[in-house]
Amino acid sequence: MLNCEIHGAQDLRAGECDVAPVGPTQVRVAVKAVGICGSDLHYYRHGRVGDFVIREPLTPGHEASGQVLEVGAAVSTIKPGDRVAINPSRVCGVCKYCRMGASNHCENVFFFGSASRFPHMQGAMREQVVVEDYQCLPVPDALSFEIASFGEPLAVSLHAVQEAGSLLGQTVMVVGAGPIGALILMAAKLAGASRLIAVDIVDQTLEACARVGATQTINVARDPEALEALTAGKGQVDVCFEASGNYVGLANCIRATRARGTIVQVGTLSGNSDGCPFNQIMVKSLSMVGSFRFMDEYAWAIDYLSRRLLDVSPLLTASVPAAQARDAFELAGDRTKAMKVVVTF
């Protein structure tokens, strides 16, 4: 079957892979849509994500949806023909983190499209995948496969909002207005935030955030004074989400968050930390929280999308056939042209 593979930096190929058998509790799904995530882009551009280096061909993709082709003998909740969103995380349920209710830190997790292990954990950007039945969440016919593929990034965003605590009536700022940042804004609005500020250096992504609920957008490259105003009086922001993965973004969060406020680190930080005012975390008694992946929030995300409680369609830039996957990755990497690009089969 057709399989998109990353062999190294800038080396994306169309390959073939074997069709895996279906076990008693498993489901075979014909993949229909796979969103391109920031980590997929890092693997494509650099051949690595942080310390995770591609050492064998890696099938990317963990934002997936599709249609059930076959179910195992013990599967009773899903049937062939069902339309499903696919949870990319398969946890063990028995390690210390699973037992303490922190399955997003499962020691034995299998997560689609990651080079954090060798052999690598192959992803969903292929014609078919075989997964456990509990990884498949039915979606209504009215929900497109492309929108259903937003379940994973929305789950990440919902988890980040959960980590922040109550947002009722709060002023929230998101630094980094890419797809995750925009979805965090939407999740924060759903959680009751009253003021939603998006900060970035690209007008096009800020415009997308305005379409999904941002009450203020700041292009910090062009209008640094607007951000400076948020630092007055020990800070004006109650809760800040760092989604840029950049120490300059984190510095802006620290400066703008009020004393005893909260910063949620969502982006994977890279670059030089020189000049980041870490000491202000102590001086302002800030709470600093890390947010990694998700747990039950995946089911919440699919429910919210299915019931149209959140409309993510303004974030969908393009659907590109798998035969043109390289073009899809190039488009997804251009922040002036794209928010979310989905590869279709």
Q: Which residues contact 289 (CB under 8 A, 6 or more apart)?
A: 163, 164, 262, 263, 264, 265
Q: Which of 160-169, 177-186, 263-272 has the lowest mean pLDDT?
A: 263-272
Please give the domain boundaries of the chain with CATH numbers for all domains: 2-150+312-344 (3.90.180.10), 154-290 (3.40.50.720)
> What mean pLDDT is reported for the chain?
97
pLDDT at res. 298: 98
* CA–CA separation, 131 and 164 (whole Å): 32
Instruction: Please write the tens of the pLDDT for every residue from 2-28.
Output: 999 999 999 999 988 888 999 999 999
* CA–CA separation, 65 and 229 (whole Å): 43
Closest C-alpha to 86, from 118, 111, 119: 111
Residues in the chain: 345
pLDDT at res. 31: 98
Tokens of 221: 């490259």
Pairing of strands 136-138, 128-132: unpaired
What percent of the chain is predicted at pLDDT more than 70?
Answer: 100
pLDDT at res. 76: 96
pLDDT at res. 112: 98
pLDDT at res. 15: 85
pLDDT at res. 50: 82
What three-state secondary structure class fits 122? coil
Pairing of strands 128-132, 26-35: antiparallel
Largest CA distance in the chain: 63
Confidence label for 51 from pLDDT (cuts 50, 70 and 90): confident
pLDDT at res. 270: 85
Tokens of 274: 């020189």
Residue the block writes with tokens 């947010």 = 291
Tokens of 80: 């062939």
